[in-house]
A and B are shown apart, each in its own frame.
Chain A
Amino acid sequence: MTFFDVTQSLFGGFALTCLIFVFTLVVAIPLGMVIAFGLMSKFKPLKYLLKVFVWIIRGIPLMLQIFIVYFAPGILNDGVNFWNEVDKWFYFNFGVDAGGAFIAVLISFIINYACYFAVIFKGGIEGISRGQNEAGLVLGMTKRQIFRHIVLFQVIKKITPPMSNEIITLVKDTALANSIGVVETILAAKNFATTFPPLIWPIFYSGVFYLVFVGLLTLLFGFLEKKMAFYKE
């Protein structure tokens, strides 16, 4: 095994890491917004239902949630797990392994991160003083205009630091996908340790991928925060 082979294999795993990362963000951010508005809803049953849901999702480990999404169908359906069918379908159509597991991972990540984002969004929106809303109202603005032109930007500025924390955590959480056999970066590296002769260094090497990715994100968020620092409250 040459350095090149290992690198190529790790990049294969890293592609999946990136896919999980991007899909989760793209879906969990809008879904989180919907949940945030639900959490602030005046319709009490919806509000409390979502509160309990968010509590459960944030209260149990993401790995357990992945197991539930992946294994529960089999338990409920007498050992017949449709994820296995999805796995097969992916294998026959695209020649890839663990396609079903990959989708199960996406679902778990999206739900999990949407709940974390929702709490951040809710805090951000509630953190804007009532006076801002009232100032808009007495100037004859509609609720929609107030949200879009007064509240939204202030919320974005306010939630950028907690969101960047959460998003950086997401990069590393993607490693949990290997618990149900999705060959992301770390599992790709670990596979070299179980061959003969075993190679240990690819496991350390895999860390570089995360470091570079998180480094770039840190730069990006730092840039955004700087861009929005033109005012203080």
Chain B
Amino acid sequence: MAYLEVNGIRKSFGKTEVLKGIDFSLEQGEVLAIIGSSGSGKTTLLRCLNFLEFADEGTISLNDDLLYDGVSEAAAKKKLKNNDKLLRKKRLHFGLVFQQFNLFPHKNVLGNLLLAPTLMAKEDLSFKQRLHFEKSQEFASLKERALATLDRVGLLEKKDFYPCQLSGGQQQRVAIARALVMNPDILCFDEPTSALDPELTGEVLKVIRELKDSDTTMIVVTHEMEFARDVADKVIYMANGVIEEAGTPEEVFGRPQSEKTKSFLASRKNL
């Protein structure tokens, strides 16, 4: 069984079926690129993996561990509360980098990285321990990890800056670092460069390339065809809620089988 197994994911919003049965698998250390025009369901698929949406049907298993089963979850719908400890734990298997960064504007860069792990570490502590947490060994190592992660995305010297003082590309790199600090098994990107000026996309893509070199498992929804071709081990082309074509970059970009894929790729080339 592959590292990540996604089977038969279906999702509807009202009467609109957005995902009509999505299957794919991914091995550890691989990079999957999901391409397709807007409205094809790419983002919804990513949101289902991160449990921001709950698929109506289908299963998600990671490392032989069944994380999600849409049918049984639907049967026990009340269990799916955002506060659910189990759900929060499941969410942490996946990291998500948003198109709009969604950094916390009132926290500086280091604060953005430390907020969630600090709160999580504090949860199991007594009131007194919580008060002194920032002097603890645990916090020191947490901070060290955050700084190392910032260094990895090349923003160590910006640690005390607020998001509003950074460029879009820098903000997105902070967002990547923030997701990495949680040590996700799979890091997901939702069109990470779509909100950036063209001259700033390079620095973000470079960080993603470096992550690939250090064997981070990633799923990247992207409009950057060249990037998908270079970096991905697998490519999925989605249209109207189904996987129209899947395979290695050579297969999908080089010899696409489906007519839809061909016309999509042709339209992209003309851009």
Contacts and interface: CB of A to CB of B under 8 A. Distances in A.
Interface of A: 129, 131-132, 134-145, 149-150, 153-154, 157, 230-233
B185 to A, nearest CB: 13
B96 interface: yes
Interface string B167-205: 000000000001100100000000000000000000000
B247 interface: no
20 contacts: A131-B102, A134-B52, A134-B96, A135-B102, A135-B103, A136-B116, A138-B52, A138-B96, A140-B89, A140-B182, A141-B115, A141-B116, A142-B82, A142-B83, A143-B82, A145-B119, A149-B115, A154-B105, A154-B106, A231-B106
Nearest to A153: B106
B87 to A, nearest CB: 9
B164 A231 contact: yes
Interface of B: 50-52, 82-83, 88-89, 91-92, 94-96, 98, 100, 102-106, 115-116, 119-120, 162-164, 178-179, 182
Given A138-B179, A231-B164, 7 more contacts: A129-B102, A134-B102, A138-B96, A139-B178, A141-B115, A231-B105, A232-B164
A134 B106 CA distance: 16
A84 B233 CA distance: 83
Nearest 7 Cβ contacts at the A-B interface: A139-B116, A135-B102, A131-B102, A232-B164, A138-B96, A231-B162, A140-B92
Contacts of B82: 137, 142-143
Nearest to B118: A149
A211 B98 CA distance: 49
A157 B91 contact: no
Contacts of B91: 137-138, 140
Contacts of A140: 88-89, 91-92, 116, 120, 182
